[in-house]
Amino acid sequence: MRRNPILIRMLLVAPIIQLVLFGYATTTDVKNVPIVICDESHSPEGRTLTDKIHVSPYFLLRGHVSDPREIKPLLDSGRAQIGVHLPPDFARTIRRGEPGAVGLYVDGSDSMSATVAAGYMVGLFEHYGSQISLQRMRRAGPATSLPTVEAVPRVWYNADLRSVNFMVPGVFGLIIMIITTTWTSQSIVRERELGTMEQLMVTPVRPIEIMLGKSLPYAVAALIDAGVIVLLARFWFGVPLRGSIPLLFGLATIFILTALGMGLLISTISRTQQQALLASFAIMMPSVLLSGFMFPIANMPWIIQQITWLIPFRYFLEIVRGIFLRGVGLEVIWPQALTLLIFGACLFTIGALSFRKRLQ
């Protein structure tokens, strides 16, 4: 590693860049959604609703149109993602005490952001309607007031519902897996391609010593990167770390052994660095998609949910998010920790035996 300064920079600098990019890019928050409004009511009620949309941080008012048929071309061109149509009788129906119908046109090309943005807009409409009802009851007097039931939501562990708090702990485990699995397999296969592995085999060095010499440096590099990621997550992104740091790094070490075992296995089945890279990609892509890193496991089909039990990254992801956000200890996450330990022991043992057999 000391003789390869480019590799050292990639091991220590690339994870920081990856964390920053993932932390800012992988977000489910929706802000500044472009919106266009067609107000055919030309009423104070319509202008009040338009002002509420304009001052909302979730929407970016792109302009007004006079004909509702002009909304579709704006959605087609991408200049707007949501179109709001206030019909001519909007104010009259509200003044009669009836629900005012509002047309809501949403570009569903990006289904996730469209669903969230439409939910924000519906919530804004409901808040506006409740304000009108409250004002009417106050003007009519207390005798006409009706009892109401008010729900006061309380969000635990992530009170601001920041997606970065959900994503960054996952990136913590993802970068550890990339470093240990990919670079371990790459370094061993590279030695074989250059012919230096055969030179090592004729020396008095034992196979177990070669294996440790080729894997442990990447484990140390992964732990260093893990420390840097924790600092960035805490002080750059503001992600809370409510649990035990020694517990986090202790269980991260177990996950590193699991990833090293996968790297050793890949090195035994690969003859070139390209093959090792493709094999690493084939392992990590399912790990990312099926671990709950981005998509909830509960939303997956039943058969896919059963497959996720075979992915070690799933258990480490639950551990990391539990320690970061909920501040839980080993008394809560011991089933995931025990399962990860079994995976780590099995994979590292199989990888070590396969690597030793390949050398012999």
pLDDT higher than 80, residue 159: no
* Token pair listed for 211: 């294996």
How many Cα atoms sit within 13 Å of 209 on the Cβ side? 6
**CATH classification code of 33-144:** 3.40.1710.10
Q: How far apart are CA 233 and CA 148, in angstroms?
A: 42
Between β-strands 33-39 and 59-64, what pairing exists: parallel, antiparallel or unpaired? parallel
- Report pLDDT digits (tens) over 167-192: 888 888 888 888 888 888 887 788 77
Task: Say if CB 226 and CB 172 are below 8 A apart.
Answer: yes
DSSP labels, 193-222: HHTHHHHHHTSS--HHHHHHHHHHHHHHHH
Cβ partners under 8 Å of residue 224, min gap 6? 12
**Domain ranges, ordered by start, for the chain:** 5-25+162-359, 33-144
Lowest mean pLDDT of 239-243, 244-248, 265-269, name the range: 265-269
What pLDDT does residue 65 have? 92
Distance CA 360, CA 3 (A): 27
pLDDT of 140: 63
pTM of the predicted model as reported, rounded to 2 decimal places? 0.69
76-85, 269-278, 294-303, 307-316 — which one is most confidently predicted on average? 307-316
**Structure tokens belonging to residue 237:** 């992104």
Segment 42-81, tens digit of pLDDT: 888 888 889 988 888 888 898 899 998 898 888 877 788 8
DSSP 31-60: --EEEEEEE-S-SHHHHHHHHHHHH-TTEE
Taking the C-alpha atoms of residue 39 and residue 181, their distance in angstroms, rounded to an integer, is 58
